[in-house]
């Protein structure tokens, strides 16, 4: 351990300890999307001392991002998000190796990126990316931490195909009918149209990092649980997501592969 003091507040936790810290150092995470969710998640993962962070995004920093995308500063406007994110994360923790994967990733590139990581965080903002990422994670048996936030509602879930949990498509089986992966009923709306407060996104992104860290440390039984947050009422709901035997991605009865 080259920097014990840096991680002392988590090493002191009985559930983490020196061995847990070494586990994190030996681990890697793929973060798809470094917007609002990905900013919070990546900062906490780097802070925790993950060995390697793989980041993917396609966008440049815009003024409207700065309200919630806390990886970026005013001086970053116009820069590629990946370059600006790497600078921030390396400044925070030079021990975490940052790898940049310019997006959008699809096909073999997406499969290779997923294969290269121990856990995947879906911090994207659109359904096609969410669906493709879920299918690749199921096929590769990689844990996936899904998150979304819009208006005053957030949700997140850990899906772990290797442990037989439900997958993202079990939860949202009919994307064409308006199940966008946003909180219930939000259809294909985006934060640009519907709005969102920065901290709402930050809460979900932070908890995506928490679920990832817990999973890497073998703590808790989070897989297959959907957490929904109402930011106006400040209330959480937690519900089990049953695995759908006819799921088009992970179903055992559907007799169809994840690429169909
Ligand atoms: Zn499924």
- What are the pLDDT digits (tens) for 133-146? 999 999 999 999 99
| Per-residue pLDDT at 4 | 86
Q: Is the pLDDT of residue 229 over 60?
A: yes
| Long-range residue pairs from 161-167, CB within 8 A, at least 24 positions apart, any chain | 161/137, 161/250, 163/223, 164/243, 165/223, 165/224, 165/241, 165/243, 166/224, 166/241, 166/242, 166/243, 166/244, 166/247, 166/250, 167/134, 167/137, 167/138, 167/243, 167/247, 167/249, 167/250
pLDDT for the residue 138: 98
Q: Tens digits of per-residue pLDDT, 23-62? A: 999 999 999 999 999 999 999 999 999 999 999 999 999 9
Residue 168 Cα, ligand 1 centroid: separation in angstroms?
Answer: 6
Q: Which pLDDT score, from 0 to 100, does residue 174 have? A: 73
Q: Structurally, how many domains does the chain consist of?
A: 1
Cα–ligand 1 centroid distance for 250 (angstroms): 4
Q: Which of 137, 191, 247, 250 is catalytic?
A: 191
Please give the residue range of the domain that contains residue 23.
Answer: 5-256
Q: How far, in Å, is the centroid of ligand 1 from the Cα of 173?
A: 8
- Pairwise CA distance, residues 92 & 189, whole Å: 34
Give residue 104 CA to ligand 1 midpoint distance, Å: 23
Write down the pLDDT at residue 154.
Answer: 97
- Measured in angstroms, how far is the CA atom of residue 185 from the centroid of ligand 1? 20
Q: Is 191 a catalytic residue?
A: yes
| 16 or 1: which leads in pLDDT | 16
234: left (phi over 0), alpha (psi -120 to 50) or beta: left
> What is the pTM assigned to this prediction?
0.93
CATH code of the domain containing 112: 3.40.50.720
Mean pLDDT, rounded, for 91-116: 97
Which pLDDT belongs to residue 260? 45
Specify the higher pLDDT residue, 60 or 193.
Answer: 60
Strands 119-122 and 28-32: parallel
pLDDT, tens digit, for every residue of 103-115?
Answer: 999 999 999 999 9
Pair of tokens at residue 91: 């400044």
| Percentage of the chain lying above the pLDDT 70 cut | 91
């Amino acid at each position: 351990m080259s920097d014990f003091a840096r991680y002392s507040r988590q090493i002191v936790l009985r559930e983490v300890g020196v061995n847990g810290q070494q586990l994190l150092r030996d681990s890697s995470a793929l973060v798809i999307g470094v917007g609002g969710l990905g900013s919070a998640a990546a900062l906490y993962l780097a802070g925790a001392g993950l060995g390697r962070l793989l980041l993917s995004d396609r966008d440049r920093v815009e003024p409207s991002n700065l309200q919630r995308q806390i990886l970026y500063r005013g001086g970053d406007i116009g820069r590629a998000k990946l370059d600006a994110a790497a600078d921030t994360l390396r400044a925070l923790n030079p021990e975490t190796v940052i790898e940049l994967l310019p997006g959008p990733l699809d096909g073999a590139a997406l499969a290779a990126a997923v294969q290269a990581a121990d856990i995947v965080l879906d911090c994207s903002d659109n359904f096609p990316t969410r669906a493709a990422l879920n299918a690749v994670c199921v096929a590769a048996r990689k844990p996936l931490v899904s998150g979304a936030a819009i208006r005053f509602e957030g949700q997140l879930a850990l899906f772990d195909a290797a442990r037989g949990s439900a997958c993202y498509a079990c939860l949202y089986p009919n994307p064409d009918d308006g199940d966008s992966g946003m909180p219930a009923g939000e259809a294909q709306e985006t934060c640009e149209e519907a709005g969102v407060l920065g901290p709402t996104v930050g809460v979900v992104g932070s908890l995506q990092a928490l679920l990832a860290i817990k999973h890497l440390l073998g703590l808790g039984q989070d897989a297959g649980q959907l957490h929904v947050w109402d930011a106006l009422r400040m209330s959480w709901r937690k519900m089990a997501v049953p695995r759908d035997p006819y799921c088009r991605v992970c179903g055992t009865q559907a007799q169809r592969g994840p690429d169909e």
